[in-house]
Structure 1
């Protein structure tokens, strides 16, 4: 295979990983758009239904760390394909669940594969492209996160509302199987990493710079999912927003994320810190607006604020992942596994904090607390120099 053909084939594989990230994030977050429907069908409250997001995320934490310690030596293609097939099984079982405990059990199976897949895909992307294109590859791969918001969560809401939430989960199962097939066809043979284990994890966790960036990630991701997990009941409670408008609003949120990935993809390698700081400020501002003028925004203004929030969080996710990969160097896999664990742990923490705060103080206060936490994460980034490997000499 010529160098040009190999390069083209590798970029196709990067795109396949982007589809994979879309699938795993859709699987994790689809219940966010269906909490009310699931709760009503299974006889649980909306806050209890939110536990299917929380528990899923926390199990994914353990799976991500297990991957770095135990599975790191396995060849990448068969491992990623097997993980996607497990994810397909999980969603299929969820579609058949007729009790809340059965649904939770099905979600546990998916969470095990989710954490492992998430820990791998960032480093696999870095194996496929030159070092100076890692940011672009990361933008493509984690663009699936934004795509899950623009297509996954809103479509799950749309299908779940009109055809039942079980149909939405069945659709996710079919998509997971399709992605397993695509990954099998497009991913080249990639070896595992030798010597990745507890020592490597400790080396990353003991680094001062990693501690700072991980703290910013915890604050930001926890805050985002405190609010986003309950975006459907928040929108449903707003005067002037009909239930039929919720899915289009979620599409606007995710569409902004896709656009942000396109815009930041060419900038992230050269202006990493700048892109991240601007995005963090925009996300905090959007949440503050949703909190302070809740009920008075109206449909058009709410749409605009969601577009700002959606675009900002997409750039933040790509920025954090790129920062970790550039910072880690040879320790990319353990650093990525820790990032995946922190990310999913923060999703779970955000969901359960969101449930508690919304019950005690209401959704408006929840969004205000989220805005404040992201502002604190922004300060941590302001005080931290960009990774030395970035090509942006000014940062």
Structure 2
């Protein structure tokens, strides 16, 4: 989402080719509806980080098992990222986007009402479909809304929804679950999605299908060494991140001995730092992507290791949870940019591989993190984060200079 070029209607578009024209009120409304959708979907995706303990207690399962709601979202999303362009190639993109957001509404309602763990997983799987298909379409749709010369500006506004969700979802989830229960927090995300869907219906113009990619286009890219290294970097760093971050609340409860209020503040600090890290990551990626990747991974490894060693102290825990958030904020900018540099002539298929890599990493991270927290305690997942992030530093140093 930070690329400067993309493909639309079979040609390469230079997003910086001309000075962007002023947008009409209708264009602003349409772009903001996309930003609202990204906020709603990502809020629902990140919500379990603040709900894990009460969710596990209510359903009578371990915290490690409860963490697999993240796995359900990501694993279904990985398949969706590969197939979405193939399955919807003839459908109007406005219809698809509204339908995906409606699916998110229903999925969040199902999760909020789930009487057992399997219904909860089913609801989260539906969210995974909506989330991945939305991101697979987002760049092309925004380019059509604002024009090729302003597509980068448009995507920056759409990803603002991600930044706001990163700040709001975990902390709001923790607070609302403490006041009203975790089911009310899940229902809140359904409300966000319903509002986003209404904005789409009112603001998006008709968007007839213009182009699509085949699976052959996507798989062809995996033969390139730069793409392979880019995918491995995503798998290592994001597996490490989600192996540990999903279980930050149990760590803060069991090791730092914090109550719900301070935990919510720590998660809020994580989110604010992630926004700052996003800005810093964009600037570093433009300057030197190889160095940016190494720095991002090194910061995350250091933050996780510091929590393992000194996280029992409240000040240290707050500081390095925030530090971790800064590193995580850099990652969604640096990792896709790193992958796209290896395929400047095929950015849409590269984008599909990027989404798949992220979703697979989230799934693996949640699975291994759940196993480790159940068998080795709250320190285990963060140790795994430090090891995998450090491995990403080594991978970054092996990559060819850009």
Per the normalisation by structure 2, the TM-score is: 0.86
Q: Find the partner of 1:362 among 369, 372, 377.
A: 377
1:103 and 2:117 aligned: no
> Is residue 292–residue 364 contact of structure 1 (8 Å, CA) maintained in 2?
no
Cα drift, residue 242 of structure 1: 2.5
Aligned pairs for 1:378-389 (under 5 A) are 378-385=393-400
> Is residue 139–residue 261 contact of structure 1 (8 Å, CA) maintained in 2?
no
> Is residue 19–residue 144 contact of structure 1 (8 Å, CA) maintained in 2?
yes
> Is residue 304–residue 386 contact of structure 2 (8 Å, CA) maintained in 1?
yes
- 1:220 and 1:77 mapped to 2: Cα distance? 34
- Structure 1 gaps of 5+ residues are 387-394
1:13 and 1:328, CA in 2 relative to 1: closer, same or farther beyond 3 A?
Answer: farther
Cα drift, residue 31 of structure 1: 1.7
Cα drift, residue 15 of structure 1: 4.8
- Residue by residue over 1:1-53, the C-alpha shift from the partner in whole angstroms, topping out at 9 and shown as x without a partner, is xx723488667655543432222222122122111111111222211111211
Q: Judge which range, 355-364 or 242-251, deviates more.
A: 355-364
Q: CA RMSD in A?
A: 2.7
Q: Find the partner of 1:42 among 50, 59, 67.
A: 59
- 1:122 and 1:366 mapped to 2: Cα distance? 34
Cα drift, residue 299 of structure 1: 2.2
- 2:341 and 2:141 mapped to 1: Cα distance? 14
Cα drift, residue 188 of structure 1: 5.1
Residue in 2 aligned with 1:89?
106
Aligned pairs for 1:1-395 (under 5 A) are 4-6=21-23, 13-125=30-142, 139-187=156-204, 189-265=206-282, 268-295=285-312, 298-385=313-400, 395=402
The alignment of Structure 1 onto Structure 2 pairs a total of residues equal to 384
- 1:384 and 1:132 mapped to 2: Cα distance? 31
1:101 and 1:366, CA in 2 relative to 1: closer, same or farther beyond 3 A?
Answer: closer
> Is residue 233–residue 335 contact of structure 2 (8 Å, CA) maintained in 1?
no
Cα drift, residue 346 of structure 1: 1.0
- 1:258 and 1:84 mapped to 2: Cα distance? 24
Cα drift, residue 272 of structure 1: 3.9
> Is residue 252–residue 306 contact of structure 1 (8 Å, CA) maintained in 2?
yes
- Residue by residue over 1:179-232, the C-alpha shift from the partner in whole angstroms, topping out at 9 and shown as x without a partner, is 123334444555545351121011121211100000000000000000011111
> Is residue 63–residue 114 contact of structure 1 (8 Å, CA) maintained in 2?
no
1:31 and 1:24, CA in 2 relative to 1: closer, same or farther beyond 3 A?
Answer: same
SS of 2:47's equivalent in the other structure is helix
- 1:136 and 1:213 mapped to 2: Cα distance? 25
- Structure 2 gaps of 5+ residues are 1-19
